[in-house]
Structure 1
């Protein structure tokens, strides 16, 4: 079982105990992040359908018990042949271990433990649940001193097929009630009898009935008396012994009527006026009326008692024969008084000496009494010092328990307050460990709403849970917690402390830059500087009419899309022209506007790679030939526009089919202008002709330079 995970939730860590019907393991509840105890039914019972049915029903009944002195039941389930009960895990020892270590216990401690057990039984009995197996092994005591009763309802699940094993009743025979030993129906008073035996063992350090076999012990519960507690431990107050004697009556009618009645007796038994109360008495013998005596055979003299009486009679007769008979002699009547006087005097002297000796010896053992100081609300250190100064001792171990009203390390209760006790007496201190603290879980990565729900379940009110701010995070999903106060693992008070959370807004986003048209290297440098990722496998080569090495597409984020740091980007880069592309070079002969003078030539072209591409500018003083390369795609046309001195001079074109046919054409020429001739002027996109620098605005040339009025390209 170690390492197994029940129901996908309870991780079995270690075995911590076991009994006749089940084994108990320490486990971790991975869902609620807490330690639990898991009780697993032994394999020999897993095929008894009636047992399993009652086991579940009784476990569910026990789960209905809600009491601070009852181990809480969290879950009941089955996984294949494993039947289990999940319950509260108590970090401490069971009462049997404490009795073995340091019994007999002080009466105050025994009464305190018995009171909490009795309180638990009272609650269970009101819920119609009988324990039937009260014993020190089933009493758990946490490190804070809290008593917890476990194994409620399990004994009830025993069926007719499992009630006996090899002739003995299943259970703890040393703590059986007489009616339990008889095998008759047991009720609430059976639990009280078992509690009486537990008290007897705490106070004396021994069991009331021992035997060589379970059967012999069970018979002693039915037929024999036990040695009374004060005969074993004379320091037990009479009021406490009375409770044990009444709880352990063999006749159920003479026991306490209920656990509540016994609890009330326990709560007052250590009051000063009750400590020396008369010993309790009962009207009838507590043994069964019908006895089986051994038969007496032969004469009285044949028995040991008859022989003894005969021997005594014979001795008396011989003594009578040996006596001196002084009858007939005359006794001196005057001295008859001497003997009685001497006898009486000697007797009185002996009595006086004995009395004097007794007083002297008692004086040696006479211990001074002191008033017990009241140390409640004092610090533990101060309380110890005050008691030591008064000649008293602190009972170890000190009981540490949570207390919401008393500060940590301060005494909230003590034993024997407002009493006079002998010097050297032990005083039990009850010290506060402060309020019940919880350990903060690690809520990082958990949704804020789930964290609030968990904290409210622990008792943290909504007004003490705040979402202080939201922040970007590359690691934590949106809506999940980035950090918390108090930190994970820190102790906190659910009734007072506040929780603050920083919640993630997800990864920080920014507008995606536009890298289309940039070289591959420049695009990668820009994206990397923004915190984006471009892997070698994310570079896609594709033929296009764009220059080789130029980015022609970016995915999946387009320009100005919101993108987070760390996001991956795919770039499509031009690997060169398509196979059907044609490269053609325009050869253009251009002369200055006026011979002998310089002109600025500006060439702009459009082809398959783009529109209005700036070829460049050049100043000429004489006629020169310009080579303008272009790229043609099927069904397209390339155009070259010439601007001279800022004015449109001419435009030349070539279709894909013409270029593909390879037909040579005459060089394109732009001659100098004759005197008085003007170039078509269009720098603002309007039509018109220019004659000697004058524009008619009607698209006709009135000078030597005419134009058909068609719109010409605008200079970029």
Structure 2
């Protein structure tokens, strides 16, 4: 869309960013003569009335925000089927670019940036606006160092349509709050959690949770404990870690109560008296209701009985002599050892002993070599094949058991052997938007690079959607070994509008046709003109001015001459006498006219040998007088001024 003008006011100059729902352009406000950023809604969302209504309502709500750390919204409008929002243009870079370039930021800088973001959130929350997508990509750092939070309100406007079109939860998964991950109600504390993730990333240079898929990352937000920042970067003061820990509590009730409370903590966390404060711990309510097991009679019995112990029977039994007990025990023990010895000898004769051998290490070797080594040790290999994304086919992934285990000869050793990457059916990406297609490829294990997606002009497929893919959908492919190329529509191609002025109407048709443009025949306007009295000469092509980028297929409105001068035009012929002195010959004479037809029109350019008079025609208008200049050998020799009011007509 570069080169287009929206609302007759905003001239789009260059694309500077964008996502799955909108594209951002640097533009010029032609009325106020200032740079602006214009966010243009992608065409596939512009047909959903509910989405457009929410988009406009939220944009207007955000426009009511007035805060030095919030990107201002100037205007919201519609040009044909294009919905757009005009915002403050911040020249600089994103916080994500800063972290990617420098890694972990100095703690003082990170706290200052977080405080400015928190101040912006406090202002937004006070106006009942929740950001829902706080992440370093949406934090702009201007050349003056001012922090600006952008994309307020857009996420909120997108809620229903995003779920309808992508069947996904709203937000950026690495910066999700747990309640966003589970699809619950999001409120101000979700923004506080996301800001905690941003602060974590600033002071450590890495994200707390990552994974192979968005689902795995979301589950970590819900289930896994937070890796403590000071374990990643011991230089972080305990007070700063405490701010992060409190912002990232999974239960919202234990987080900061508001952005104002977090801001106050950020403003004091670097004071000397706070640097070594006690570590933040989630409070435990000792009086909270707990569930205890029911006390059963059996449990009571285990702790003792009440009542009178049974009467001893020793009084009724007759005691044996001590020597009788000794003789009985000695005979029993002797008999036991004799039987045990005889039984052991009998077993050894029936089952001869099997020697033990050391299990060889075969992981990482070819299955053929592994089997050979196993058999050399008089063990039995058992092969189990399984797919693997990184280990090539025929290589042992693992073994069970492994060294230093020892086994009896002829014992089984299971070898898990790679069958290579598993072939899958190529997913159908056609008609998907780019972000959805990219996520689909990554989820299937394909490698996505800058060369995977190629933009291509298309007259049929809306901008941002997949036109074609290679390999085609349904083909069996191995993700890690398959190079994927996806063609993305960038809409109809743009061409530079030619300058058709002073050309004939027929020549204009030819020039436009060569560029893929048309003449709007029904809209041709015929007007009188001071420029020419010839008919069918193009006067202008406004609003498609020369040099403007125009979409192919556009019908251009032309204004052409009707073969007449305007009624107030005065056409006169003024005599100009050029004197040639004796001895001069072939003197270069040029006569230049500036009048209602234009400036510096050359009406004569030739060499003469004798003095002559030339009748020079001029066209006057109430707004434009005429000037005739005579040049001898490119040096101005004379000048004549003809005023409109002095001519009797």
Question: TM-score range with shorter-chain normalisation?
Answer: 0.3 to 0.5
Q: TM-score, normalised by structure 2?
A: 0.45
Q: Name the larger-Rg structure.
A: 1
Q: Which has the higher contact order (CA 8 A, sep 6+)?
A: 2
